[in-house]
Each structure stands twice: as C-alpha cells, then as structure tokens.
Structure 1
Amino acid sequence: MSSTEDQVDASPAPYLAANLNEPTKSSLQEIVHDSVIAVGGYWRPASATIRLLEELAELAEAIHDESKDLASITEELADVFFISTCLANQFGVALPDRHVVSGEDAASLESKMLLLVQICGRLARVINYYDGPKNLKKSESLTPIGDIVAQIHAVLRSVARQLRVDLDLAVRSKAAKSRVRDSGRFPMSFDPSTADSLTEFRSVTEASDCSFARQAKIWGAPTWNVTKSLHHNVDQVIPFLISFTKATRHESLDGFVIAPSLPYQNTSISKLSRSFEGLLKAINRGDPARSPCLDGNIAKAGWQFEFNGRRLFVSVFSPLYPGGHPRAAHRDFVLFQPEESFDEHRVGSAYSESEVIRTAVRRKFQERGLWYPEEVIDSRIEGHIYLLPLRKGDPPVEWWLRGTDQLVLF
C-alpha cells in the first residue's frame, strides 16, 4: 500500500484513477439499468439480495414442479438474471457478455440449482457486509461482486442451454414488461450509484484534464436538504459513506462525492474554508471507527483524513475557483477518494506510470496557459491540497485553523 506522500505526488485534482482497459457494461446491463431507472431506481443492495433469494426459490420450485411449463421457468431464470445484474450495476461492475463454468453443461438441473444456491449465498454474505451489520474477521476475504454475479449468470445460461431457452431474449422481454407493469408501483428510491449529486459532478469529471476522470467509478451522496441543518444532512450521508468504505477495497470504487448546499453564495476562500472544516468535523463525528485524525498535526507530511478505518483523500471544488482552475465547478462539491483507488491503478511516486500521468497533465495546463498548483502539490502536505488556493502566489489554505463549529456554513 502506498504512503500518503506517494498519493500527493499524483496528478492534480480530481485525483481520479480508473482502469481504462476495463470492459464496458454489456448491452443487457444497460437494458436492465434503463428499465430500473424508468420505474423508480435501484433498491438498497440488502433489499435486492432478499429479492434475489426469493426469485431463486421460485426458480427452484418451477424446475421441480412438473406442472410448471417452460414459459414459467424461463420467466424465473430472467428474474434471477435481472436482479443479480442490478447488484452488479450498483457497484459499477462491467460484466462479461459470457462467462463459462467448466463442465456445467453436463451437470443435472438439480446440481445446477444447488450450485446457484451456494453462489447466491456467497453474494448475500458480501452484501450483508457492505450494506448490513456483518463484520469481517481479520483473516476473512471477500470475492468481488462482479466475479460472483458472473458465476451466477454462467450457471443460468447453462440451465437455459439445457432447456433450449433464449435467456437474453427473456431478460429483454422482462425489462420491457417491467417498464409497463411496474411504472408507479414502487416509490422513488435513492441509490448512490445514480445519485443526483453524482449526475451534477459529471460536468467536473468531463472537463477535467485528468485522463482517468471520465472512467472513474464514483458514488454520490443523497441530495442536500437546504431546510435542514448540517448535522441532519451529514446523518443522511453517513450510512452510504460507511457502505462505500466497506466496498471500495474489493469493488475498486474510486470516489464518493457530496454536493453540499450553502445558505448563501461563498464570497471568499476563508468562508469556504470554514464550511469545509465544519463538514469534515461533522463527518468525523459520525465515524464508526472514531478516528482522531482531525486532532492530529494536519500540517505534517503523511497526515490524511480517515473514516471507518479507510484513508481518504479529499478534494473541494467550488464556483469560487476561476475557469481553468483544477477545482473549478458550477457548485460546491467535496470528493472523497480511498487510498486503495490510488494503489489499484498504480498512481503514486512508487509507480513509474504515475510520473508519466503527472507530466502529461502538467503539460496540458501549460499548453492552455493555465496555472497548475505544482508548488502546493509538491509540498507533500496533504492538508494543503484538500482546499487549493485561488491563484498562483496565494498562500496554502490552512482550513483547519480558520473555523469553529459556530461558523459552519454548509
């Protein structure tokens, strides 16, 4: 695992890393996603897993019930495929179009159903950790959701081949029927993979000179309620931030973005500094691991914000920053990036690829005649990089010295 100093040496904000060689989502994934969004959005992963196990039981009943026709079995196969795909979508997984389990076609239907139960049980175990009360043992490891769902799909396709069923057609048909049957059936639900805050933040990632930004896997916080207090809004964020920090190590998530609303437009970096300090303090109070990070020496090399036992790099974006500034945005955003994301994508001074990336980004800024805050970044004081100065020559923003709880603006 790389040190904080390695990460600070990476490309400028947003420090977003993603594997550009990852496969894009399959056409069936996109069809499932569009159908889910059309009828109200994704369920919480724990609720979806319960539904998956329910559909798995119905599939088993259909296969073992001699009175059930092939159409009923086909529909249940599509249900299991559909809901497992939803879980993959929620964690940003790009599933292969085909995944083969060796020797499965020769097995009996009963053996395949037993295998499906075992695989879905493993999926439930993972989701119960990400979105439930389960804690992992120190020696315990998890299989990524993408690998598990790919195995589920492989067995479902094997069953479909044995029964001479077109599973792809069945899933497409289910998606089309769902748009009609389930429209208005369920209340609109929130999921961090489709959050409004994430949708708004895309304008920042698309404008970024960081070559990885557009492919980054990011979750978003619930919409900020301007009629409620800072602490009320942070209370709504905390459960999703906890799930994010649990999942990021195994699911390669790159960031979690909050779009806090201000009671009035920030007019100075000092006011933005106070707002940011207040937000971090409120999040720190909700940390289940009770990290003392904000009590440490933030101006020391090696310091980093922590939440739920994960080291997170933080970036503030704001309309205060002029056009061309690496943190310029149409509204305020605060982005949290896990240390694992940097290591996963080999970003940091320990990796030769990082120097190439950093040089390319700095060259882009120079070619456009824009200021790149290399003097702040090269200082290796991470606290100075969370909230950048407005322009070249301005002193580092020591946000941790500027505000008090009484001056929180978010």
Structure 2
Amino acid sequence: MNLLKQFTLGQRRALTFATDTHTQLNDQKTIELIDFILKSNLALPNTQACLSFVILQTAYRYYAFSERLLNQIEKPEMAQSYSLEQLPKHLKALQNTLGFYQHISVQAHLPENNLVSVQSCTNQLFAIFALHFKPQLLDLETHWQKALSLLIPFSRDELIYEPAFSATHLEFMKAVDETQCIFAPTGKYWGANEWDETLSFQSNVEGFSQDFFRFMSLAKKEGFKGFAVRFPASYSASLETLSQTVAQFFQAMNQVDPAQSACLKNNITEPGWKFTWANEPMFLTAFGTCYPLKHPRNPYGFNHTYFFFQPDFVLRKHPGLTDGKEQQSRERILQNFTRNDMAYDNQGKELEVQRYIRPMQATDPAVNWWQYLV
C-alpha cells in the first residue's frame, strides 16, 4: 500500500464525505473531536473512524503534503516511534497547534511559536493509524458512515467563514488547476471570506485583513504559498477600473495595517519598493474580468476580480527562486505561458510594482496603478 498516495487521496475523500454529510470541521470542532477520541475506546471501529476522519480532514484544511516517513513506518526499527502509545502525544500536539492558530489576533508583528506544525502532526498521526488500523483504510467512507452519528455533533457552522471551505478558495483552486504557472499546482493556498455587498469597501477590507493576518501567522510553519481575495467582477470591468481598485485596496489595507507602514507614502517607482503590511513585504497578482480569456491575468473564466498575495517570506523560499534559479525559473514560466498563447513581456516592467497588473497586450507599457493613490 502506497501510504503517501493514500494520505493525499484520503484528504480528498474526507473533504467529499464531510461536504456531502455536512460534517466539515474547523479548529475548535477538531479540538473537541480529539478530546472525544482521547476519552473513547480505540478498540471500537467507530472510534477508529473518528480518528481517521479528524486526521484526514485536518490535513486537507491545512494542505498537509505526504512526507517520506510514511514509506518507512513498517521497518522494525520504527515500531516504537509509531506505536499506539505515541498517539495521545501527537493528538495533543495537534490540539495545541490548532488552539494557537484559532486565537491569533492582529498585531504589529506575526506571532512566533515553537509548536509542532499541522503538516508534521497529521503525517505522524496518519502513520500510526495506517500501521495499526490498516483495514479501515480499505473503505474509509463506509466506516465514516457508520460513525456519522458520532461525527455530526462536531460539525462546524457552515455559515461561518473557514478558509479551506470558502467559496473564494474553492473557486481559486479551480483556477490553479488551469494556470500555466509550473509551480502553482504544488502550492498551498487559502482564500478570504466573501465580499459582503451590505458593507462598505473599507469594512470588507478590514474583514479580509483579519483573515490575511491569520494566514500569514501560520504560513511560515505550514509552508503555505499564497492567499486569494475575491471582489465582485465590477471592480475589474476595465483596466483603469482594476488600477483604481488596486490603489483603493492598498490604501484600505494600509489604514488597518497593525504596523502602520508608510510604504504608500514612499516613492513607489524606486527599485526595491514593496507593499508592506504587518511588517511583511509581499507581492500582489491581480486578475480581472477586463482581460480576454487567453490573457494570463484573466480569472480563468470566473466572473470575479481576484487578488493573490504572496508574502516575501514565502516567495523567496520557493526552491525555484533560490540558489540562483530565479531567472531560469521565470523563463520557464514565461515559455509555458507563451506555448499556450498567453504570452506576457517584462520589458519596461522590471520593477515588481509594474507587474501587479498586466497591460492588455504583452508589449504595452506598464500599468501605473499608483497614479490613483490619493
């Protein structure tokens, strides 16, 4: 049995089952379900089903990748490391990490912690589960269905925002599947809450900023790559409108910046300028409905305006952008877009700020969105 593949496929199966049966989890419900498991008899199949469910759905919510340890667990020398006696320790470690994540509040600097990542916890837990409860892996859904009455009380309120289940995230992931960027399919992403037409622009951005701060606070440890925000299509009806929206968005974010950055008051066209929020510089990719379908910044046919944030601490650690590989990687990405009739051009767009928005034609001058800052 290929446990690396089982771990990945199991997450998708947990997502489908949870969505169909309305048993999706959030951090708090996961903590409560773990408490239930720790107090229950693991010899019972239904308890085992609850265990696999909480492992795989949490792994999905945090986009945990399979680690090589899953191929090592059946070696005799690994028996002690993955004994059932180790299970409570790893479950409690997961509780502690999720407890920290759910109570993150916006502050001037991203909070530090020495907790075990969800990535590591879920891999360790899946290794123990696979080693001791292998028959359950053969038909996860049947076991989850039998334990459904136990799982339902721990279901989250689906009307409350949860990053991995948000409409923004789910639609954005469909776009990720279609993009010509060679690195995108291997990334971990979250999406912001939905735009609320009953709120002002500033109030919507304040809500997004809270979601974004939580994302940035765990992105380093969990290896996330970016955060998607979705606006109505009207905010990118034309290139000028999209430029105005970016300027307004940055100004609104700047107003609620916990670190009170002065970045928008600096010379934006100076080499090295970056938009900074919560003391973290970042890159923005804007997608708009003003672009034709074969344009690299078209939102892949979806009728929304998308903004994709990548903090530098994530972007600059990407294997394809380190150790002198950046230029080669960028050329490979451009070649792939060009091969699919979606070419873009960086001549006259050497500054990062000139690439937040792309012009209609690849060789057109850079879009000076910053002229709309007030």
* TM-score (normalised: structure 1): 0.75
> Which residue in 2 is equivalent to 1:154?
127
Q: How does 1:41-60 map to 2 (within 5 A)?
A: 42-56=24-38, 58-59=39-40
Q: Which has the higher contact order (CA 8 A, sep 6+)?
A: 1
**Residues 130 and 316 from structure 1, CA distance in 2 versus in 1: closer, same or farther, beyond 3 angstroms?**
same
Candidates 180, 186, 209, aligned match of 1:215: 186
Amino acid at match of 1:326: P
In the alignment, structure 2 segments of 5+ residues that lack a partner are: none
> Which residue in 2 is equivalent to 1:386?
356
Where 2:309 maps in the other structure, the secondary structure is strand
Q: How does 1:113-192 map to 2 (within 5 A)?
A: 113=85, 115-133=86-104, 140-157=113-130, 160=133, 166-168=135-137, 171-177=140-146, 187-189=157-159, 190-192=161-163
How far apart are residue 186 of structure 1 and its match?
Answer: 5.9
How far apart are residue 118 of structure 1 and its match?
Answer: 2.5
Amino acid at match of 1:343: R
Candidates 73, 83, 86, aligned match of 2:54: 83
> Which residue in 2 is equivalent to 1:339?
312
Is 1:28 the counterpart of 2:10 in the alignment? yes
> Which residue in 1 is equivalent to 2:222?
251
> Which residue in 2 is equivalent to 1:17?
none
Is 1:200 the counterpart of 2:182 in the alignment? no
> Which residue in 2 is equivalent to 1:361?
333
Amino acid at match of 1:33: L
Aligned counterparts of 1:40 and 1:210: Cα–Cα separation in 2:
34
Where 2:286 maps in the other structure, the secondary structure is strand
Deviations 1:4-48 (A, max 9, x none): xxxxxxxxxxxxxxxxxx968433322222111113363322431
Aligned counterparts of 2:135 and 2:340: Cα–Cα separation in 1:
53
Aligned counterparts of 1:106 and 1:183: Cα–Cα separation in 2:
34
Deviations 1:55-75 (A, max 9, x none): 22x23xx36xxxxxx4xx332
Where 2:347 maps in the other structure, the secondary structure is helix
**Residues 157 and 319 from structure 1, CA distance in 2 versus in 1: closer, same or farther, beyond 3 angstroms?**
closer
**Residues 29 and 293 from structure 1, CA distance in 2 versus in 1: closer, same or farther, beyond 3 angstroms?**
same
How far apart are residue 386 of structure 1 and its match?
Answer: 1.0
Where 1:211 maps in the other structure, the secondary structure is coil
**Residues 30 and 322 from structure 1, CA distance in 2 versus in 1: closer, same or farther, beyond 3 angstroms?**
closer
Question: Are 1:28 and 1:172, in contact at CA under 8 Å, matched by a contact in 2?
Answer: no
Aligned counterparts of 1:182 and 1:48: Cα–Cα separation in 2:
10
Aligned counterparts of 2:339 and 2:81: Cα–Cα separation in 1:
61
How far apart are residue 285 of structure 1 and its match?
Answer: 3.0
Question: Are 1:25 and 1:93, in contact at CA under 8 Å, matched by a contact in 2?
Answer: no
Question: Are 1:252 and 1:340, in contact at CA under 8 Å, matched by a contact in 2?
Answer: no
Amino acid at match of 2:33: R
How far apart are residue 170 of structure 1 and its match?
Answer: 7.6
Amino acid at match of 1:373: D
Question: Are 2:237 and 2:289, in contact at CA under 8 Å, matched by a contact in 1?
Answer: no
How far apart are residue 375 of structure 1 and its match?
Answer: 1.2
> Which residue in 2 is equivalent to 1:37?
19
Amino acid at match of 2:64: V
* TM-score (normalised: structure 2): 0.81
**Residues 103 and 75 from structure 1, CA distance in 2 versus in 1: closer, same or farther, beyond 3 angstroms?**
farther
How far apart are residue 373 of structure 1 and its match?
Answer: 2.2
Aligned counterparts of 1:108 and 1:92: Cα–Cα separation in 2:
22
**Residues 156 and 371 from structure 1, CA distance in 2 versus in 1: closer, same or farther, beyond 3 angstroms?**
closer
Where 2:253 maps in the other structure, the secondary structure is helix
In the alignment, structure 1 segments of 5+ residues that lack a partner are: 1-21, 64-69, 405-410
How many correspondences in the alignment? 361
Alignment RMSD (CA, Å):
3.5
**Residues 300 and 224 from structure 1, CA distance in 2 versus in 1: closer, same or farther, beyond 3 angstroms?**
same
Aligned counterparts of 1:182 and 1:118: Cα–Cα separation in 2:
22
How far apart are residue 394 of structure 1 and its match?
Answer: 3.7
> Which residue in 1 is equivalent to 2:73?
100
Aligned counterparts of 1:225 and 1:41: Cα–Cα separation in 2:
25
